[in-house]
């Protein structure tokens, strides 16, 4: 059985197929409105989320399927001390596919080892978030018309930002992607990403602390939020949270065809004053998330022989 | 110093000097009820000095534990006073419940039932990563 735990669980071909399917769904919504009729998606969210959970649920509904689940650990048997393994074993007997978010890294990986149905990692702590990566890839494909040959700046919390880690792993598989890593020293990408991903694959990258300095060279700017929930020490969070704020003055330094992405939610890191700038893609990106999850759920249920 | 040879059991030779106690502890040899000899800093032509462990009992030794500690250890199976088999060690590709993941953010840190599993990701530098959180060991 195929699960989606890490973005590299999918081959480049499989990703291309999912993105093509998502594009077909966008153009032909009626054609897919009943394809998952009678199937159930369980959303097990041990950590709160708005976009990811609702987009999964909306995706399943638009495929004609049903949804069940919980939206925080407080409303599940986790409060009674039930283990993740037991929760997943039980739920996999009720649902045909599970989307799971958990604050601990690797929880969906463990779930995949005990589940009777496919598991989709909907975010595990600061580790991975593969469906956000598919969303980002679909957005890049729709905005740029290609998945390779550009310079992408990743800005903000690159240490705990799971969307960044997943996106890097996916993008290094395409030709001609140059990375500019923009972060305070305390929030640099983990060493393994430098040594085992960039250096091992001879990928062009640089690490900088100034966003202004690199704005003119970027084709894509991927902003991230400094996440309060990832810090053990609140003082560190307060000190680092407003390091980068993308505003009109910085946008003036950018290329006319820059694409600004953000996984959302944003706090202060993108000024609302640039929301109307056509280069701001983040709300279109959120909508892409629903379509790519429709394509993923449909593909996984089909591959598992459920439809 | 002379230690008697054993009749039936296992000899772990060419242990890097100073690592015999780690091998003893990680293999949990304290749980055996037979004689176990730990020889430290034995003269060796090849290594200068080395450690040796002799276990006076037939015993299913965990080769993954040994390979992880030191893949150059020689494992000799002794029967009726003769060496009947020498086992080759290799750096194991996977470690199951041999080392614990120390990342407090890993699911292993809170769920007791989960096996601690590491995969070898870089043999040259002996880098193992937790399969759940990818923290290295």
Measured in angstroms, the CA of A283 and the nearest CA of chain B are apart by 30
Q: Residue B133: which of A83, A105, A196 has the nearest Cβ?
A: A105
User: How many domains in chain B?
Assistant: 2
- The packing angle between helices A130-144 and A162-171, to 10°, is 60
Q: Are residues B100 and B81 in the same domain?
A: no
Q: Are residues B78 and B52 in the same domain?
A: yes
Q: Are residues B42 and B98 in the same domain?
A: no
A49 has pLDDT over 90:
no
Tens-place pLDDT, residues B55-87? 999 988 999 999 999 899 999 999 999 999 999
Q: Are residues B81 and B104 in the same domain?
A: no
Q: Is residue B1 part of a domain?
A: no
Question: Does B132 reach chain A within 8 Å, measured CB to CB?
Answer: yes
pLDDT at A238: 79
Tens-place pLDDT, residues B106-131? 999 999 889 999 999 889 889 999 99
Q: Which residues in chain A have their CB less than 8 angstroms from residue B137's CB?
A: none
Q: Is A51 a catalytic residue?
A: yes
Measured in angstroms, the CA of B117 and the nearest CA of chain A are apart by 11
Contact A106 B113 (CB under 8 A): no
Tens-place pLDDT, residues A119-167? 999 999 888 899 999 999 999 999 999 999 999 999 999 988 878 988 9
Q: Is residue B18 part of a domain?
A: yes
Contact B106 A126 (CB under 8 A): no
Q: Is A248 a catalytic residue?
A: no
Of the candidates A39, A102, A129, A142, the residue annotated as catalytic is A129
Residue-by-residue DSSP string for B30-41: GG--S-EEEEEE
Q: Are residues B109 and B61 in the same domain?
A: no
pTM: 0.87
Contact A106 B130 (CB under 8 A): yes
Q: Are residues B100 and B52 in the same domain?
A: no
Q: Residue B101 sits in which domain range?
A: 94-130
Residue-by-residue DSSP string for A238-291: HHHTTS--B-HHHHTTS-TT-EEE--S--SSSB-GGGTTSTTB-HHHHHHHHHH
Contact A110 B132 (CB under 8 A): yes
Q: Between the ranges A228-232, B46-50, B58-62, where is the mean pLDDT highest? A: B46-50
d(CA A19, CA A131): 12
Contact B122 A102 (CB under 8 A): no
A231 has pLDDT over 70:
no
d(CA B72, CA A83): 40
d(CA A132, CA A223): 13
pLDDT at A223: 97
Q: Which residues in chain A have their CB less than 8 angstroms from residue B131's CB?
A: 106, 109
Q: Is residue B137 part of a domain?
A: no
Contact B107 A127 (CB under 8 A): no
Mean pLDDT of A181-209: 93
Mean pLDDT of A274-290: 98
For A280-287, the CB contacts below 8 A with 24+ separation are: A281/A139, A281/A143, A284/A139, A284/A142, A284/A143, A285/A135, A285/A136, A285/A139, A285/A261, A286/A51, A286/A55, A286/A135
Q: Is residue B2 part of a domain?
A: no
Q: Which residues in chain A have their CB less than 8 angstroms from residue B111's CB?
A: 83-85, 104, 110
Q: Are residues B16 and B83 in the same domain?
A: yes
Is residue B62 exposed (0-12), middle (13-18) or buried (19+ Cβ within 10 Å)?
Answer: middle
A270 has pLDDT over 70:
yes
Q: Say which CATH topology domain A130-285 has.
A: Rossmann fold (3.40.50)
Nearest CA in chain A to B130: A106
pLDDT at A209: 95
d(CA A304, CA A192): 33
Measured in angstroms, the CA of B130 and the nearest CA of chain A are apart by 9
Q: Is A102 a catalytic residue?
A: no
Question: Does A123 reach chain B within 8 Å, measured CB to CB?
Answer: no
Query: How far is CA A202 from its chain centroid?
Result: 25
d(CA B119, CA A220): 34
Mean pLDDT of B96-100: 91
Domain boundaries, chain A: 7-128+289-303, 130-285
pLDDT band at A230 (very low <50, low <70, confident <90, very high): low
Mean pLDDT of B3-22: 92
Q: Tell me the sheet residues that pair with A268.
A: none
Q: Is residue B4 part of a domain?
A: no
Q: Are residues B107 and B70 in the same domain?
A: no
Question: Does B78 reach chain A within 8 Å, measured CB to CB?
Answer: no
d(CA B86, CA B64): 15
| Residue B41 belongs to domain with CATH number | 3.30.70.140
Q: Are residues B66 and B32 in the same domain?
A: yes
B93 has pLDDT over 80:
yes
Question: Does B25 reach chain A within 8 Å, measured CB to CB?
Answer: no
Sheet strands side by side (includes B9-16): B36-44, B48-55, B9-16, B74-79, B82-87
Q: Are residues B34 and B76 in the same domain?
A: yes
Q: Are residues B39 and B103 in the same domain?
A: no
Q: Is the CATH code 1.10.10.10 the one for domain A7-128+289-303?
A: no
Contact A106 B133 (CB under 8 A): yes
A263 has pLDDT over 70:
yes
pLDDT band at A224 (very low <50, low <70, confident <90, very high): very high
- B101, B104, B105: which to substitute to probe chain A, counting the most A Cβ within 10 Å? B105
Q: Among residues of chain A, what percentage have pLDDT more than 70?
A: 98
Q: Among residues of chain B, what percentage have pLDDT more than 70?
A: 99
Q: Is residue B44 part of a domain?
A: yes
Q: Are residues B84 and B99 in the same domain?
A: no
């Amino acid at each position: 059985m195929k699960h989606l735990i890490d973005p590299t669980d999918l081959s480049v071909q499989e990703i291309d197929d999912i993105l093509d399917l998502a594009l077909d769904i966008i153009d032909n919504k009626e054609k897919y409105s009943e394809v998952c009729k009678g199937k159930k998606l369980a959303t097990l969210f041990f950590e709160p989320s708005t976009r990811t959970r609702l987009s999964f649920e909306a995706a399943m509904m638009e495929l004609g399927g049903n949804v069940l689940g919980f939206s925080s650990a407080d409303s599940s048997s986790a409060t009674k001390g039930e283990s993740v393994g037991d929760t997943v074993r039980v739920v996999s007997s009720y649902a045909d596919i599970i989307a799971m978010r958990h604050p601990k890294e690797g929880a969906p990986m463990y779930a995949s080892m005990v589940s009777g149905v496919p598991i989709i990692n909907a975010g595990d702590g600061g580790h991975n978030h593969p469906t956000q990566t598919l969303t980002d890839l679909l957005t890049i494909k729709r905005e740029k018309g290609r998945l390779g040959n550009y310079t992408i700046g990743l800005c903000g919390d690159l240490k705990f930002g799971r969307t960044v880690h997943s996106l890097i792993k996916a993008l290094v598989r395409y030709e001609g992607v140059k990375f500019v890593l923009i972060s305070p020293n305390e929030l640099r990408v983990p060493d393994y990403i430098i040594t085992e991903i960039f250096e091992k694959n001879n990928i062009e990258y640089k690490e900088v602390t100034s966003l202004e300095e690199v704005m003119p060279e970027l084709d894509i700017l991927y902003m991230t939020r400094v996440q309060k929930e990832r810090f053990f020490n609140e003082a560190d969070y307060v000190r680092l949270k407003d390091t980068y704020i993308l505003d009109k003055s910085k946008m003036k330094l950018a290329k006319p065809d820059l694409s600004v992405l953000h996984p959302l939610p944003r706090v202060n890191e993108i000024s609302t004053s640039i929301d109307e700038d056509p280069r701001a893609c983040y709300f279109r990106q959120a909508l892409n998330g629903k379509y790519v999850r429709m394509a993923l759920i449909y593909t996984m249920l089909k591959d598992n022989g459920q439809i | 110093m002379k230690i008697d040879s054993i009749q039936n059991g296992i000899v772990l030779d060419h242990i890097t000097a100073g690592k015999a106690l780690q091998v003893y502890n990680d293999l949990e040899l304290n749980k055996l009820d037979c004689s176990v000899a730990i020889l430290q800093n034995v003269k060796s032509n090849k290594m200068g000095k080395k450690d040796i462990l002799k276990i006076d009992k037939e015993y299913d030794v965990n080769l993954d534990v040994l390979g992880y500690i030191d893949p150059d250890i020689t494992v000799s199976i002794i029967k009726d006073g003769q060496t009947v088999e020498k086992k080759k060690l290799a750096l194991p590709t996977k470690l199951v419940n041999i080392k614990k993941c120390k990342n407090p953010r890993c699911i292993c840190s809170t769920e007791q039932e989960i096996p601690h599993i590491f995969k070898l990701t870089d043999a040259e530098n002996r880098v193992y990563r937790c399969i759940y959180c990818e923290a290295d060991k």
